[in-house]
């Protein structure tokens, strides 16, 4: 890991740059896949699955028999763990339900807001080097609580043409209505455009690599919404000499092992801690099964010394991390002061892994600085807020003249007439 000592503010942008390709580098292949899927549907999906995933599938829809077989393969202790995680995720997301908001703005003018579920949603579950069945819980649980009618799950098949049993078990547990063995750009294009076997949805959720992220952004051009741009994983830890170096190293490596394009950063007011964390990373890295992946991610990562907490907070807000861990005596400054972060983990005993799996918060979060404008996935992500109003005779008398005057001032006579005609009948 690169150690950077007290960098000048005008160098922060370069230091904090993500190790990702630009949209321009990826957009060509994404557009090509979308064009092919639009023209040839499942035939194109099959071609790209063979090209990108190395498997030719005669049928990409998961059958009930496959689901039952998968359920039988999942060990009982893991089923219990998945169920406990599901319960915690349910508890946190059910607590996000809000009641109807109703107010009489003027006598006779009643306005209210209600939530309605998005009827058709697509969930993208990364496969690749690590089939993330935990993401099934993070997306399908709030979709089910929200009341989404169609929950379509896409995930890339392995070399045997199957999905991980854990993914199928979690999907069945959470009420997913259709499971498709397709990943990458072709999955996003299928959910966006619809094919013979992949339903077109209204909104697409889920993290993925850089190609999936760009594909999701392209989906919006076709009228399909997305949760957020959620690309390669990233973590920033802020710590002082009160922190445990071994714990911090384990947190940094937990995100580094996601993928070679992941990024992890430590910002600290203690040079001694930085040295100790660097040594711990090397020691812990050597025993990881995914050492080769984590090693490449660590090469993109930084250990940054700053003089004080205020400078650290300013730098962190500029970066806008996906995951933000606070291990500092000055905890309150960071917790109350942070404006840009996807999810915050506080204290020496709050590993980021807890949020990834079982504490209850959602792990589908904005990356690449998008935490400056986007929220992580939550119950509202699967709902729309609809407003209603009902105006009585008294109400139209009370606000009628206001509407007439404003409409006339904007030069919209028909708008004025829509009120005037009513007022005339009531006089």
- The residues annotated as belonging to the active site are 322-323
Cα four-point dihedral sign 17, 22, 26, 27? positive
What is residue 128's DSSP assignment?
T
| Contact predicate 19/300, CB 8 Å | yes
Judge whether 93 is annotated as a binding position. Answer: no
Q: Partners of 112 in the beta sheet?
A: 102, 388
By CB neighbour count within 10 A (0-12 exposed, 13-18 middle, 19+ buried), where does 155 fall? Answer: buried
Spell out a b/e string for 236-258, using b for 16 or more CB atoms within 10 Å of the CB, else e: bbbbbeebbbebbbbbbbbbbbb
Length of the chain in terms of residues written: 427
* 258 known ligand binder: yes
Tally the C-alpha atoms within 13 A of residue 167's C-alpha that lie toward its C-beta.
25
415 among annotated binding-site residues: yes
Q: Strands 101-106 and 109-117, how do they pair?
A: antiparallel
> Phi/psi at 186 (nearest 5 deg)?
-65, -30
What percent helix, strand, coil does the chain show, rounded to 5?
Answer: 50, 15, 35
- Whether residue 2 is annotated as binding a ligand: the answer is no
Residue 107 near residue 398, CB atoms below 8 Å? yes
**CA–CA gap between residue 126 and residue 114 (Å, rounded):** 33
Question: Residue 157 has which token pair?
Answer: 């098949």
- The per-residue DSSP string of 84-108 comes to HHHHHHHHHHHTT--PPEEEEEETT
Instruction: Indicate the DSSP class of residue 358.
Output: T
How far from each other are the two terminal CA atoms of the chain, in whole angstroms? 79
Backbone angles phi, psi at 326, to 5 degrees: -115, 115
- Please list the alpha-helical segments (H only) found in 228-320: 245-256, 271-285, 291-299, 309-319
Kindly report each contact of residues 40-45 with a partner whose C-beta sits within 8 Å and lies 24 or more positions away, as own/partner.
Answer: 41/195, 41/196, 42/195, 42/196, 42/197, 42/198, 44/186, 45/182, 45/186, 45/190, 45/195, 45/197, 45/198
Whether residue 356 is annotated as binding a ligand: the answer is yes
| 363 labelled ligand-binding | no
- Rounded CA-CA distance 184/156 in Å is 7
Residue ranges of the annotated binding site are 124, 186, 209, 233, 255, 258, 323, 356, 410, 415
Binding site listing for NAD(+): 124, 186, 209
Annotated binding residues for substrate: 233, 255, 258, 323, 356, 410, 415
């Amino acid at each position: 890991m690169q150690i950077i000592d007290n960098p000048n503010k005008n160098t922060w942008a370069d230091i904090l740059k993500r190790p990702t390709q630009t949209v321009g580098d990826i957009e060509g292949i994404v557009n090509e896949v979308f064009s092919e899927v639009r023209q040839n549907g499942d035939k194109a999906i099959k071609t790209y699955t063979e090209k990108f995933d190395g498997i030719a599938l005669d049928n990409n829809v998961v059958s009930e028999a496959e689901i039952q077989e998968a359920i039988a393969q999942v060990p009982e202790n893991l089923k219990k763990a998945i169920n406990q995680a599901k319960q915690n995720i349910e508890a946190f997301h059910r607590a996000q339900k809000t009641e109807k908001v109703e107010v009489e703005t003027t006598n006779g003018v009643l306005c209210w807001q209600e939530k309605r579920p998005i009827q058709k949603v697509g969930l993208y579950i990364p496969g690749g080097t690590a089939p993330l069945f935990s993401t099934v819980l993070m997306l399908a649980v709030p979709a089910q609580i929200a009341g989404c009618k169609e929950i379509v799950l896409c995930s890339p098949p392995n070399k045997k043409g199957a999905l991980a049993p854990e993914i199928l078990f979690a999907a069945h547990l959470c009420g997913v209505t259709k499971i498709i063995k397709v990943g990458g750009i072709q999955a996003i294009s299928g959910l966006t455009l619809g094919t013979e076997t992949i339903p077109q949805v209204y909104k697409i959720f889920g993290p993925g690599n850089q190609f999936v992220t760009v594909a999701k952004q392209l989906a919006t051009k076709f009228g399909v919404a997305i949760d957020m741009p959620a690309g390669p994983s990233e973590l920033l830890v802020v710590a002082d000499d009160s922190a445990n170096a071994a714990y911090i190293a384990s947190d940094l490596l937990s995100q580094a092992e996601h993928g070679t394009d992941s990024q992890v950063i430590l910002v600290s007011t203690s040079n001694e801690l930085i040295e100790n964390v660097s040594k711990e990373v090397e020691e812990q890295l050597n025993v990881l099964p995914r050492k080769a992946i984590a090693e490449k991610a660590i090469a993109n990562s930084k250990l940054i010394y700053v003089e004080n907490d205020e400078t650290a907070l300013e730098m962190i807000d500029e970066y806008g991390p996906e995951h933000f861990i606070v291990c500092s005596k000055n905890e309150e400054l960071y917790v109350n002061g942070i404006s840009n972060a996807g999810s915050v983990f506080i204290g020496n005993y709050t590993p980021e892994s807890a949020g990834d799996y079982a504490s209850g918060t959602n792990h589908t979060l904005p990356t690449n600085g998008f935490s400056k404008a986007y929220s992580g996935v939550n119950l509202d992500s699967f709902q729309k807020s609809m407003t209603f109003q009902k105006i009585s005779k008294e109400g139209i008398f009370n606000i009628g003249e206001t509407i007439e005057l404003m409409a006339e001032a904007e030069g919209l006579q028909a708008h004025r007439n829509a009120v005037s005609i009513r007022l005339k009948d009531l006089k």
